[in-house]
Amino acid sequence: MAIQLVSKSRCFNGEVRRYSHLSSSLQCEMKFHVFVPDNYDSKENLACLWFLSGLTCTDENFITKAGAIKSVSQGGIMLVCPDTSPRGTNIEGEKDSWDHGQGAGFYVDATVEKWANNYNMYTYVTEELYNIINIEFKTKKHSIFGHSMGGHGALVMALRNPTKYQSVSAFAPICNPTQVPWGKKNLGGYLGQDNLEAWNQYDATVLANKYTGVDKINILVDQGDADEFLERELKPSALKEACEANPLLSLTLRMQPGYNHNYYFIQTFVDDHINFHLNHLK
């Protein structure tokens, strides 16, 4: 469980740090970024906001591109940015496609033999790294958000673990992966083409339809209406319909005119998301 400091830089009222560690769930060395506010070790109930990145990204993308640290610093909370897949596993074919394999772990626990020893990003984020952060930084409360594939991961993790996360939001998430090409490729590849019951455990729309938790979940989703993947891959309307039918879920879906799928979109609305989570974490 030991983590090693790779780099650190002063930023606003805290430090941006990168750590590496040997992951037991992924069976390889992993890196992650954090923003740690000043005097974090003296804070009671230190809150932590997680961001899950999308296809092809690493732990570096959001923390360097999103312009989020100022708001996180002002809120006095920690930010955690994991990687999107195992690295250096040398699985045959894992680099053949940009949207499956390395950089595209899809936040599932793989069951297909080829991937099963390494591609367990669901367990890595919700258990292994979650526990590391709690122990190393004495965090007490957590919220989660993400973009695209990472938005899918954040929604799934919050719906399956409502006691672990105080709130959830997403930028342009893959909302109904069992019904779209990206989802079918990755769920089929990692879980098996005919294992539809397992697929449903990683589909936010399916989970929203079935959610029966004790606590109501508030969800914020921003989606650009000029997003090139909107109709083919993302399907926010499916999630909206599921949430409207479930009184335990409250979805605010904001269609943002003219925005597409990139980090300019995220930069524009990231403060709204951080403030949304601060309201739940504090």
pLDDT for the residue 34 = 98
pLDDT digits (tens, 9 = 90+) for 165-223: 999 999 999 999 999 999 999 999 999 999 999 999 999 999 999 999 888 999 999 99
Of the residues 147, 152, 261, 277, which is catalytic? 261
Cα 274 to chain centroid distance, Å, stands at: 14
Q: Point out the catalytic residue in the list 59, 83, 109, 227.
A: 227
Instruction: Judge whether 227 counts as a catalytic residue.
Output: yes
Specify burial of residue 136 (Cβ count, 10 A radius: 0-12, 13-18, 19+).
Answer: middle
pLDDT digits (tens, 9 = 90+) for 50-77: 999 999 999 999 999 999 999 999 999 9
Domain ranges of the chain: 3-281
Out of 37-46, 85-94, 169-178, 243-252, least confident range: 37-46
**pLDDT band at 41; cut points 50, 70, 90:** confident
CB 170 within 8 A of CB 147: yes
Please tell me the class of the 3-281 domain.
Answer: alpha beta
Two tokens, residue 159: 């719906």
Determine whether 148 is an active site residue. yes
Residue 21 annotated among the catalytic residues of the structure: no
CB atoms within 10 A of CB 13: 15
Distances in Å between the Cα of 176 and the Cα atoms of 31, 153, 221, 251 are 29, 11, 14, 15
- Among residues 23, 148, 167, 169, the one annotated as catalytic is 148
SS (H, E, C) 195-215: CHHHHHCCCHHHHHHHCCCCC
pTM comes to 0.97
Instruction: List C-alpha distances in Å: 229 to 148, 173, 261.
Output: 10, 10, 8
